[in-house]
Structure 1
Amino acid sequence: MKFGKIPLDQAAGTILAHSTRLTGRIFKKGHILAPEDIVVLQNSGITGVIAARLESEDILEDEAASRISNAIAGLNIKIGNTFTGRCNLIADADGLINYDKVRLDELNLIDQSITVATLPPYTVVTPRQLIATIKIIPLAVPNNVLNKAEKIAGSVAPIISVSPFQKKRVGLIMSRLPGMKESILDNTLKTVSARVATYGSDITHEIRVSHDQEEVKRAIENMSSLCDILLIFGASAVVDRHDVLPAAVESAGGSVDHFGMPVDPGNLLFIGQRGGLPIVGMPGCARSPKLNGFDWVLWRLLANIEVSPQDIMLMGSGGLLKEINERGQLRQNSNGANEKATGGEAKVIALILAAGSSTRMGA
């Protein structure tokens, strides 16, 4: 593609680089100048335009964007209309955006003319939500560059897809200590039920037992055939792989595959399985409805995405979530009144309200 200022008498068939406004008419960027357009421009006193002239191997921006979009879009994605070298990918289901980051990076590294931007991986998306945009930077792209992009996109499964949430039977085991208020467990059940229902599933079975390895073991055995995902909430935090809850999973014939995650709140989560049934030991912060590391694991399980130890260990980038003040152990100690505030967490030491009109104060 040749680009630059072109004398008007040589500009027929070129692509206009910038919109040109005339009295009563406008030629928009990307318009291919026809002979009759040249006459109109000449009559307006214009002698040259900044434009691009395609060479034999060049593909116009809209066609290029469309080709890449069709190559990378997978299941549960709608491809939008192409305009000015841009094509959007739209979610067509409730679920998680799922993509091959390695191949996406390879595609973006082919050439500066091709760009693909997406939401972060495993973001919860809803139908009609924009999840990715493909933008061709110049007015045209060489066909060999597009061929490279299509080869990467077509090497295995499509690069980008939406993994839809599935309706799951979710079981919940909660342990209690002597003197523990039943209302705590009631509220936990309410919170977990609402969290699961948001994504189309239900807590179908619930058992409450003493915080004892043998009792939790029996509950796991009783629940295993009744649910698709098993959640375990302990009366106290799990502090070791051999603590009560993970030990109960193993004594029930299951396995604990990973304990701990680089996401806070949510550090003290563990995952395991029994006979293919996913088991999640929930961190204490999951008693709150606020976002925490448990959500990141739950979303994937509800979307039929396997969660491996490596998956959890790679969650640290972006894993520092907003603090949950209701949890027992905050990440900043309460004695830090003299510490310099950093980041976005300011300490509020006073709140001054201006009352305004006294009639609003009951006077």
Structure 2
Amino acid sequence: MKLIRTEDAVGSVLCHDLTQIIKGVTKDAVFRKGHVVQPEDIPVLLSIGKEHLYVWEADENMLHENDAARILCDICKNTMMDESPVKEGKIELAAAADGLFKVDGARLRLVNSFGQMMIATRHGNTPVKKGDKLCGTRIIPLVIEKEKMQRVRELCGDEPLLQLLPYKIKKAAVLATGSEVFHGRIKDTFTPVLEEKLAEFNVELVYKQVLDDKPEQIAAAIKTAIEEKGAEMVLCTGGMSVDPDDRTPLAIKNTGARIVSYGAPVLPGAMFLLSYYGEKQVPVMGLPGCVMYAKRTIFDLVLPRVLACDLVTADELAALGEGGLCLNCAVCTYPACGFGKGW
């Protein structure tokens, strides 16, 4: 750093905070370390007694923290994110729309392992609302080597480290199965729960049926929902346990759907089934009874991904074991909690 006259400091970078003290009025930094001096700043600097300033010397091999922060932001950002103004080497990103937030964890660790820079995000594979904060990026020192920032950019490649996927599925079908419901012995209380959950994502219920525990009827109804009613997702309720007369998993399999998993390491929701039907990969799910009465379950974890047409794998479901235990808190704060943060 070097000492220069304040009048000559326009365009220079301050090496430390400059504080103004007015008794009974203020004691705060007027300019922060890293501030680039502007012409209008000169009278203010002189008014606080600063006739000389310590500033950083220009170095063609170094980047100012704000310029380096721009690179970190570019590594992270995709088209559905809004960024904050750069300040003290820091830029934050927020959701520009509702959607599914995703993080490339391997590349995130790569950036954070370089040192002198950091990116902190919320958990990936979680639903977010427009305006929600997604991440914060920061350069730690005031200046950083250009070569280091260029190396990080090259290693991360052209694809953004973060994604915000819009929800694409807008039409769903619900097939309530079970002889007790079909014969009117009990009321179907499952479908209204699903209608409420789907409404949170502006999904329309275009087809619903109550069916007996007959695999051929259930399989036919799944195909009707997709091929004739235009359903982009099918939810089957009832018949998901291991009792001999629970036939929903068999019915889903008989449609020819590709079974991803029957069972998930999540409580509530162990007896969950996920499959994809046909060339269009239409999601067909078998929902366990807990979805009807528990506040949050495996269905809440998988639904945002399904609606964003983000295909879920068996390995990803297996990874939910860590964090897959809902604690049934007296006041539910999901998704602002640890439930389902394992994938």
Q: Shorter-chain-normalised TM-score: which range?
A: 0.7 to 0.9
Q: Which residue of the partner structure matches residue 318 of structure 1?
A: 323
The aligned runs of 1:7-26 (5 Å cut-off) are: 13=12, 15-21=14-20, 26=30
Q: Deviations over 1:26-45 (max 9, x none)?
A: 443323579997xx789959
Q: Note the C-alpha offset of 1:274.
A: 2.5
Q: What is the SS of the residue equivalent to 1:97?
A: strand
Q: Note the C-alpha offset of 1:17.
A: 2.3
In structure 2, do the counterparts of structure 1 residues 264 and 184 end up closer, same or farther at CA, with 3 Å as the change threshold?
farther
Provide the alpha-carbon RMSD of the alignment: 3.5
Q: Note the C-alpha offset of 1:193.
A: 0.7
Match of 1:290 among 295, 301, 305: 295
Q: Note the C-alpha offset of 1:80.
A: 2.0
Q: Which residue of the partner structure matches residue 61 of structure 1?
A: 65
Q: Which residue of the partner structure matches residue 218 of structure 2?
A: 216
Matched, 1:93 2:97: yes
Q: Which residue of the partner structure matches residue 336 of structure 1?
A: none
Distance in 2 between the 1:272 and 1:278 partners?
Answer: 6
In structure 2, do the counterparts of structure 1 residues 246 and 186 end up closer, same or farther at CA, with 3 Å as the change threshold?
closer
Match of 1:196 among 198, 217, 223: 198
Distance in 1 between the 2:140 and 2:215 partners?
Answer: 61
Q: Note the C-alpha offset of 1:8.
A: 7.9
Letter in structure 2 aligned against 1:132? C
Q: What is the SS of the residue equivalent to 1:186?
A: coil
Distance in 2 between the 1:89 and 1:183 partners?
Answer: 53
In structure 2, do the counterparts of structure 1 residues 229 and 185 end up closer, same or farther at CA, with 3 Å as the change threshold?
farther
The aligned runs of 1:1-363 (5 Å cut-off) are: 13=12, 15-21=14-20, 26-32=30-36, 44=49, 53=57, 55-111=59-115, 113-153=116-156, 155-178=157-180, 186-225=188-227, 226=229, 227-235=231-239, 237-239=240-242, 244-275=247-278, 276-288=281-293, 290-323=295-328
In structure 2, do the counterparts of structure 1 residues 54 and 45 end up closer, same or farther at CA, with 3 Å as the change threshold?
closer
Q: 2:181 touches 2:187 (CA, 8 Å); kept in 1?
A: no
Letter in structure 2 aligned against 1:283? P
Q: 2:169 touches 2:232 (CA, 8 Å); kept in 1?
A: no
Q: 1:285 touches 1:324 (CA, 8 Å); kept in 2?
A: no
Q: Note the C-alpha offset of 1:86.
A: 0.9
Q: 1:241 touches 1:259 (CA, 8 Å); kept in 2?
A: no
Q: What is the SS of the residue equivalent to 1:127?
A: coil
Distance in 1 between the 2:136 and 2:181 partners?
Answer: 55
Q: Which moved more, 1:296-305 or 1:11-20?
A: 11-20
Give the structure with higher Rg (CA).
Answer: 1
Distance in 1 between the 2:185 and 2:14 partners?
Answer: 70
Q: 2:35 touches 2:88 (CA, 8 Å); kept in 1?
A: no
Distance in 2 between the 1:294 and 1:100 partners?
Answer: 23
Q: Deviations over 1:249-268 (max 9, x none)?
A: 22233332211112211111
Distance in 1 between the 2:34 and 2:179 partners?
Answer: 71
Distance in 2 between the 1:283 and 1:19 partners?
Answer: 62
Distance in 1 between the 2:102 and 2:50 partners?
Answer: 54
- How many residues are matched? 317
Letter in structure 1 aligned against 2:15? L
Q: TM-score, normalised by structure 2?
A: 0.80
Letter in structure 2 aligned against 1:281? G
Provide structure 2 residue ranges, at least 5 long, that are not aligned to the other structure: 331-343
Q: 1:290 touches 1:324 (CA, 8 Å); kept in 2?
A: no
Distance in 2 between the 1:43 and 1:298 partners?
Answer: 58
Letter in structure 1 aligned against 2:146? N
Q: TM-score, normalised by structure 1?
A: 0.76
Q: Deviations over 1:92-128 (max 9, x none)?
A: 11111112111111111122x1111111002211112
